[in-house]
Amino acid sequence: MKKINIPYYIILVLSIILFIVSVFLNPYSFSYLAALVFILLLALLVFSTGLIINKKEFYQKNITKYIILYFILLLSLTMFINRSGVSFFNKEFLENYTRTTNIIPFKTIISYLTGPANIGIKITNILGNLVAFMPLSFLLMLKDKKFYKLKNQFIYLGVTTFIIEILQLITSTGRFDIDDFILNIGGGLLFVILLSKINGIDKCKSLFYQDFNIPKLGKIILWIIPLIFIILVDIMTLVNMVTIEQVITQTFYVEEKNNCTGLEKIELEEFNLYLDCVDVVYETEDYYQMSLEDALKNNELTRRKIKEKMKQKEALWDGGTTMYVSPKENITFVLCQTTDGNKDIYVGNKDMRYEESFCK
């Protein structure tokens, strides 16, 4: 038992630390899917270790570990992954927080269901929020029978959702929407009701408190498989963290136009590029320079690269429209992501402001 406990806890703790540090330093180091798969691998390692130890108290401790892993994943998805420029108490974000807040029940849900948003946005914002807390409801019932009661589930899920909203406000990574509460808590409670109707929790509970009489060799194999994949991911994550550039080199060269009367529209294949009284030259990683138009047209510069290189200034929330700025390079990007599929890009100097006419 002690022989396997030591490497198990070392790998588990180090992997969690590496994951957290990686997504904090580089929000694009993991995709949503990659983060989910990695956390599931850690959960599988916990589960297979439980099979080897095969003691009731260890199985009980494992449920707590699953809950911790769930919260690590939840906070990563809602605050860090693919959210460039996490900024604590960002002034521009706080100024617009009230304007983007929704306190009208079902307003956002109805707008997604009846509006022209593409199916991907609808799934992410409705179905994603609906199922987000179901795993937590399930784990709470595994841990303690008091969470069989809807009242206890409602209190726990409500407090959890509120804390996440506060953390998103502090880190400038999200806005308050009453529909998020409705979907998050409602989804969890509906899941509890469904499990209660079919007596599902008691049936599932036995799966987490036994070793299924698996031979010792089989248990070791089940333990080694996720361990190998976890170590490989840890190595790749560590290499990525070590080799990431710490000094921001100049990427954009901006020349402001003196006699400019309005936006210059450049039509590209999948979107329009609007230049707000600037000419921009983009420098690639191998120091080749080209116009911003050519860089976007030839995929030398993508929306993802813009997010990686820039600091998020303001999230405008119409499907995901976001403003990014680099004061040192005197440039601002507005990446449109509206519910009707507009993906235009607006570019100006560091003082450019978002106008109501943008992204229409």
pLDDT tens for each residue of 132-164: 999 999 999 999 999 999 999 999 999 999 999
Q: Are 112 and 182 in contact (CB under 8 A)?
A: no
pLDDT confidence of residue 61? 95
Mean pLDDT for 175-183 is: 88
Helices marked H in the chain = 2-25, 32-53, 56-75, 91-100, 107-114, 119-122, 128-131, 134-143, 150-171, 178-197, 200-205, 216-243, 292-297, 303-309
What one-character-per-residue DSSP string does 129-149 give? HHHTTHHHHHHHHHH-GGGGS
Count CB atoms within 10 A of the CB of residue 213: 7
Domain boundaries in the chain? 2-243, 252-348
Percentage of the chain exceeding pLDDT 70:
89
Q: pLDDT tens digits, residue range 325-359?
A: 887 788 999 999 887 788 999 999 988 888 888 98
Per-residue pLDDT band for 229 (boundaries 50, 70, 90) equals very high
Residue-level pLDDT at 333: 94
Identify the pLDDT of residue 175.
78
End-to-end CA distance of the chain: 63
Q: How confident is the model at residue 247 (pLDDT cuts 50, 70, 90)?
A: very low
Angle at 195 between CA 192 and CA 196, to 5 degrees: 85
> Of 205, 215, 221, 220, which is closest to residue 60 (Cα–Cα)?
205
The least confident of 65-69, 89-93, 198-202 is: 89-93
Strand, coil or helix: 85? coil
246, pLDDT greater than 50: no
Tell me what the mean pLDDT of segment 36-52 comes to: 97
pTM for this model (two decimals): 0.72
Distance of alpha carbon 323 from alpha carbon 81, whole angstroms? 17
Of 4-13, 71-80, 100-109, 312-321, the one with minimum mean pLDDT is 312-321
pLDDT of residue 249: 60
For residue 34, pLDDT over 50 is answered with: yes
> Rounded distance, CA 321 to CA 314, Å?
9
Cβ(348)–Cβ(276) under 8 Å? Answer: yes
* Nearest of 207, 226, 78 to residue 138 by alpha carbon: 207
How far is residue 30 CA from its own chain's centroid? 9
Query: Residue 80 has which token pair?
Result: 């860090």
CA–CA separation, 176 and 230 (whole Å) = 35
Cα–Cα distance, 347 to 328 (Å, whole number): 15
Among 198-202, 210-214, 216-220, 241-245, the range scoring the smallest mean pLDDT is: 241-245
Determine the Cα–Cα distance for residues 278 and 266; give it in Å rounded to an integer.
Answer: 13
